[in-house]
Amino acid sequence: MAIPVKTLKLARPQLLLDKLLVNGDWKAAAGVFAVLDPATQGHIASVADGTAEDATLAIDAAATAFQSFRKTTARERSDLLRRWALLVRENAQDLAQIVSTENGKPLAEATGEIIQCVQTFEWFSELAPHYNGAAVPSQNHAVRITILRQPVGVCGIITPWNFPALMLARKAGAAIGAGCTAVVKPAEDTPLSALALAFLGEEAGLPTGVLNVVPTRSHMAAVGSVLTESTKVAKITFTGSTPVGKMLMKQAASTVKKVSFELGGNAPFMVFDDANVDKAVEGALISKFRGSGQTCVCANRFFVQSGVYDEFVTKLGRAVEEKLRPGHALDEFITQGPLINKRSMEKVCSHVTDAIAKNGRIITGGKPLPELGPLFFAPTVIADLDPESARVFSEETFGPFAAIAKFESEEDAVRLANNNEAGLAAYFYTSNIGRAHRVAEALEVGMVGVNTGVITEVALPFGGVKESGFGRENSVYGLDDYTVMKSVATNIA
Ligand code: ADP
């Protein structure tokens, strides 16, 4: 039986916002768009559908606010971010419900995302006052060189639907820590988390116009053009698909903006003969099936060495059947929500159909679960695939499908792993310390998990290489992309 429509039970119903935030005002737009629960297709809210004009007003507000915000001390911005973190923590249960309902991820995962938002705001609160320029020795006796790190200016922030709260925290937290102002365009499927976080940012005391949010569905491309082409916007930070990233990069070239992009991944997950197979299965479950396989660091291509191949395949299939439970995000004991939309469902179906057509062996799953709702797909494991021909090995699935191929040697594994245009994350399991270093160094990615399926935390520089983008978020380097270096040479003679 299809899951019945669920209603949100918020302690603070005012956190469910449906307006634009421009220059400190919550205002309607000319139209609205519907935000639906992906599990039930139930209506959650009708949200203001921002236009290019709304985006222009938001940029103007951010540009005006920047003139004074850039002069705040790092300590003042640190205090703001700490207050924001506290408010997010206090309202964590409401925020997690909002994330779960609009994104579909289980409440436990959504709560984890909100806790990561708290940690992110705390991190940038701590980093901001310790972020330095430098004084460097000159070659000339009469000259002193000072390097200033100044906020870049107004940031255009475009976020995806898979971490609708965390991506805002990562980008806005860094921008505000550095002294920038921002205009956020959240993903059209999940604007409510961003609006709720922005509301708490206002409560924390963000000055008027520092953070503006313009959700949109009908005018997405127009708002994107305004953000990328406005001379008042100094930087674009984007997390999303590679094709959209390439297009935004072209648009941003017109004004030579600073850009940082975290684009699609297609993470390899390798298990060597000398690995602890049970731990590898545990890591695979998290790395592959978290968010129903819809995170950019999710494992997409499994390569398993011949000596442990059968054991790994059997154990992963059993673990998927025993431990993963699809259902509604707000129901207890579920681990797998729906896919985000019809387009995602079509892609997962096409990759699984292709894998079966190419002689893949279904270990478990392999089909949609229409009895739960139109966007549910069974957690799936398919083995014995040929990485040269199955589509899942060249394109990111973004769904709950573990595709497995066999390899014989370390060289093969590295070659297969690197045979992809994406280069975000990779995972491998081995008990050989030499191999751990060799393989980690050889992989063409920005992040590597060795004997772990979880890499993300605020201390780790997050980002990719190749067509997965550039720039690093979080970590001690997390403010670099939001500042510009100014070199001052002073003649003291
Ligand atoms: P996905 O395919 O996973 O939905 P997208 O790259 O389409 O990823 O979406 C990521 C973000 O990019 C979302 O906020 C989405 O609204 C935005 N986006 C998509 N197309 C455009 C566009 N033409 N201009 C600006 N933003 C866009």
Please list the pLDDT of the chain residue by residue as tens digits (493 residues): 678 888 899 999 999 999 999 999 999 999 999 999 999 999 999 999 999 999 999 999 999 999 999 999 999 999 999 999 999 999 999 999 999 999 999 999 999 999 999 999 999 999 999 999 999 999 999 999 999 999 999 999 999 999 999 999 999 999 999 999 999 999 999 999 999 999 999 999 999 999 999 999 999 999 999 999 999 999 999 999 999 999 999 999 999 999 999 999 999 999 999 999 999 999 999 999 999 999 999 999 999 999 999 999 999 999 999 999 999 988 888 999 999 999 999 999 999 999 999 999 999 999 999 999 999 999 999 999 999 999 999 999 999 999 999 999 999 999 999 999 999 999 999 999 999 999 999 999 999 999 999 999 999 999 999 999 999 999 999 999 999 999 999 999 9
Token pair belonging to 284 = 């695979």
Work out whether the CA dihedral 161, 166, 170, 173 comes out positive or negative.
positive
Token pair belonging to 88 = 């997010």
Q: What pLDDT is stored for residue 306 in this prediction?
A: 98
Instruction: Tell me how far CA of residue 463 lies from CA of 3, 295, 410, in angstroms.
Output: 37, 13, 25
Residue nearest to atom 25 of ligand 1 (CA): 224
Residues annotated as catalytic are 262, 296
Angle between helices 52-69 and 220-229 (to 10 degrees): 40
Work out whether the CA dihedral 256, 258, 264, 267 comes out positive or negative.
positive
Selection from 221, 239, 45, 216 nearest residue 157 by Cα: 239
> Which residues' Cβ are closer than 6 Å to ligand 1?
158-160, 185, 187-188, 220-221, 224, 240-241, 244
Residue nearest to atom 26 of ligand 1 (CA): 224
Instruction: Tell me how far CA of residue 377 lies from CA of 125, 189, 371, 400, 448, in angstroms.
Output: 40, 19, 10, 7, 28
Token pair belonging to 290 = 């978290």
Token pair belonging to 169 = 């925290």
Residue 466: helix, strand or coil by DSSP?
Answer: strand
Token pair belonging to 20 = 């634009």
Selection from 321, 296, 307, 466 nearest residue 379 by Cα: 321
Token pair belonging to 338 = 């729906």
Residue nearest to atom 17 of ligand 1 (CA): 187
Amino acid at 219: H
Selection from 467, 117, 422, 434 nearest residue 299 by Cα: 422
DSSP conformation class of 13: G
Q: How far apart are CA 108 and CA 97, in angstroms?
A: 10
| 269 neighbors 299 (Cβ within 8 angstroms) | yes
The reported pTM is: 0.97
Selection from 171, 142, 469 nearest residue 297 by Cα: 469
For 276, other C-beta atoms within 10 Å of its C-beta total: 15
Helical (H) or strand (E) element with 148? strand 143-151
DSSP conformation class of 469: E
State in Å: Cα 337 to ligand 1 middle: 21
Q: What pLDDT is stored for residue 1 in this prediction?
A: 64
